[in-house]
Structure 1
Amino acid sequence: MGKVRTEHVKRIARELIEKFPGKFTADFENNKRILESVAEIPTSKLRNKIAGYITRLMTTIDSGKSLEETVESGAE
């Protein structure tokens, strides 16, 4: 089983994907660098959690689902 992400991390990730629709990809390292430039995340641990969740969402979105379908289906 995977780790449970807090609603705080999920909310920030969803907001950033909606605010910057074309910036994020399914690559974790790329998403970390993008987060550094577009958002002021106080700690690297939180940045990595958000980047990881964005990567997970983008992987699911790339497989054909929309962001709303991904969130509703519980892809955590």
Structure 2
Amino acid sequence: MKKDKIPLFFPYDVDRVKKMANELLERYPDKFTSDFGENKETIHNFAIVRSKELRNKIAGYITKTVNRNLAQQNASLSYTDEASEVSEETTE
């Protein structure tokens, strides 16, 4: 009789990854970039994470969050640029 494999990533691990990643982002917001490898090294320097898998998941979540924030900033900048162009066209 074959035993079912236990999944390596339990649902409660998602919360743990998010909590740890958000705490690191709050403490060191200027230390993280959109580069996964740099974020892994930063986590190694600022936190004690014994599991390579957990460190990679935290670095991945941080990278995704930083990229999302950068995309939102770029979108808001392009929106304000478009709004100023429209207002300039209407005043001419």
- State the TM-score bracket (shorter-chain normalisation): 0.7 to 0.9
Larger radius of gyration: 2
The aligned counterpart of 2:6 is none
Q: Which runs of 5+ in 1 are unaligned?
A: 66-76
The aligned counterpart of 2:57 is 49
Structure 1 residue runs of 4+, over 2 Å off? none
RMSD, aligned CA:
1.8
Distance 2:19 2:69 in 1: 16
Aligned-residue identity in percent: 40
Q: How does 1:1-76 map to 2 (within 5 A)?
A: 6-64=14-72
By relative contact order (CA 8 Å, sep 6+), the higher-ranking structure is: 1
Deviation per CA, 1:13-42, whole angstroms, max 9, x where unpaired?
001000001000110000000000000001
Give the helix-richer structure, 1 or 2.
2
Normalization by structure 2: what TM-score? 0.63
